[in-house]
Structure 1
């Protein structure tokens, strides 16, 4: 009987469900796109290294308190959980081949730079990375990205064995032999931009970079990768204590270890609050939809007063009438919830596709939507159903 009543007034039933549909679709789309964006950002942090620690020297420290090669070796040999450690020094200049000349960003470090470098991909497509001997001997070798190779050598990417000249801002120039090519950098960037105006990227031994600018030899920050994210806290404390001991700086707070997990927790917290706030605002449409259901059900009770009186005169109990009208409101809300769920999924996929992210729709979200829409039907249907159930059959039969 509830279904017959709903389908007998299809347009009115649809308009009644419209608030529920819009509310559910909005909440599902926001949660799906928001969770997908959060997962992508979290994945980016994991790519950078969930087990990565940034070790830095305070500006208040003297030059003698800066890090050196011996410090790096001591850290790696004394703390077993450290797998890789490298400075992340950068130098602006120009790189030129026999074909092109481009502004360049050179990144200097130890051989571990291949894995700690956050500006270039660690994956090699041609050749190899520089080794410890080349680092210690300050060999004039370099590793470039595919983008750099293409920009300097007329689109060619396999440029192993070629030479480029790297010039510092001060005018000092050295010739570098390309020994390896990593995956491109620009392909991962979002949006439209003119790649011809982007700088080229290359990685060199820090000792080689010091030939261009001796000031880079003073190491004020290094990137450290530990075996597991569970080792981050203990490794961070050990690194700070070891450096304070080696530089006689105990208690001076010259050295600070910061890990990406702390930043990731902050990002997750901020994104979670933002997504929940937007979803709550969208949820207001559900409240409006629930009020619409209650309004239409009250109208329905008024229209069907004689029907209710007749049913009660024929023996229908108060609970039977209550259940009939309550079921109508629940079915209206549930159908609206299902339609809203489908539209929300389609909307989430459309928006996510435009933003180039993968929407995240969980079974828990689907179940929550269906339960919530049913709850809306029950909550806003109780009053009209009670009003119908309490009608006096004699007065209802007299109603015109």
Structure 2
């Protein structure tokens, strides 16, 4: 009996017991569906999020004071002047800006809105490629140095505060402060943004610091020349600040790449854990395959005896039942892959994630299906192959 004939015989055996074969496949289908859904969402989602994070923060890093430092903290630990010097002396740094942020209530003629206020220098606009001028202009170095009370609003915020009125040249209030709107901007959002309704606004940092009794800078945001320059840029920044302010181990720097690596480690671990849990159902499905194949061997004992009496070799019987087991698992695996990808696509749609597809998980699923078919089908197939033809023919 050649392989093709064994294949046709296996298909006939499966088709003759459609209900039983379908129930046998169910465990494999559930297991493969779970594994595919988990690994596709894990690997595909991880890749999509990494691409977004790199696009929005490629080569960027943040510098801030180390809260575990033994040195005394002061309001001049980070200054605007420090950022200006670093941008000039470090060959690894493309941009570095002081950065303060706070949440405020901002009033316009139409209504009041809660706003995420950013205070920084004009270089921030050059560093953040996702910001585009919608109307008017961004503030410049003169606006910043002269501490002008000007503000740039997110375009959606301008519409909320002013309605149909052109916001350029109008005033907004925040506390006792009145600021002139000189521009509006649009910002490219992350694709998997979960629908945050917060609005943004940006003011010159010198004006912002002039409002404080004890002015201080929260942190520096920097951008290196390229990927290879990230670590040198961070080291040069912390060393300069330690030397300038005479404070050892007082400053820390963290790059976006480090955040991405940490995120990948976390999601990789979670994906592995969930895949192992889902894989347990594959083992259960494999036991089901072995159980049904043993039943099939028992039912077809006389058939096996006739085949052996007609000259079928032991390896022919072994291959026949092994192929049947593998086909059952592969069909279940194929259906499981379709269900798994469908569930992953559905979750991606409602979670506002880009379409995901992990070919690695598909290949692993089919490899698992084949392995389960061989492993759990080997014992029943071997049992069938070992049957004595005389005893098999006598079986009722």
Counterpart of 1:234 in structure 2 is 232
Output the TM-score relative to the length of structure 1. 0.89
Counterpart of 1:301 in structure 2 is 297
Output the TM-score relative to the length of structure 2. 0.90
Distance in 1, Cα, partners of 2:35 & 2:192: 30
Q: CA RMSD in A?
A: 2.4
Measure how far apart 1:187 and its partner are.
10
Matched, 1:174 2:183: no
What SS does the corresponding residue of 1:361 show, helix, strand or coil? coil
Distance in 2, Cα, partners of 1:57 & 1:31: 39
Distance in 2, Cα, partners of 1:8 & 1:338: 21
Counterpart of 1:381 in structure 2 is 377
Moved more, 48-57 or 286-295: 48-57
Distance in 1, Cα, partners of 2:205 & 2:304: 88
Matched, 1:326 2:322: yes
Between the two proteins, the alignment pairs up a number of residues equal to 385
What SS does the corresponding residue of 2:208 show, helix, strand or coil? helix
Cα distance, 1:185–1:208 mapped onto 2, change above 3 Å: farther
Counterpart of 1:57 in structure 2 is 65
Measure how far apart 1:275 and its partner are.
0.9
| Alignment check: 8 A CA contact 1:147 1:185 kept | no
Distance in 2, Cα, partners of 1:280 & 1:58: 39
Measure how far apart 1:58 and its partner are.
3.9
| Alignment check: 8 A CA contact 1:332 1:377 kept | yes
Distance in 1, Cα, partners of 2:111 & 2:322: 77
What SS does the corresponding residue of 1:223 show, helix, strand or coil? strand
Counterpart of 2:10 in structure 1 is 2
| Alignment check: 8 A CA contact 2:135 2:168 kept | yes
Counterpart of 1:395 in structure 2 is 391
Distance in 1, Cα, partners of 2:75 & 2:154: 35
Gaps of 5+ in 2: 1-8
Matched, 1:32 2:43: no
Distance in 1, Cα, partners of 2:268 & 2:369: 23
Deviations, residues 41-73 of structure 1 (Å, cap 9, x unaligned): 324432441311111124544437522232112
Deviations, residues 152-175 of structure 1 (Å, cap 9, x unaligned): 10255x5223222332xxxx4233
Gaps of 5+ in 1: none
| Alignment check: 8 A CA contact 1:147 1:186 kept | no
What SS does the corresponding residue of 1:123 show, helix, strand or coil? strand
The one of 240, 249, 266 equivalent to 1:253 is 249
Distance in 2, Cα, partners of 1:164 & 1:114: 21
| Alignment check: 8 A CA contact 1:164 1:178 kept | no
Measure how far apart 1:27 and its partner are.
0.8
Counterpart of 1:209 in structure 2 is 208
Counterpart of 1:113 in structure 2 is 124
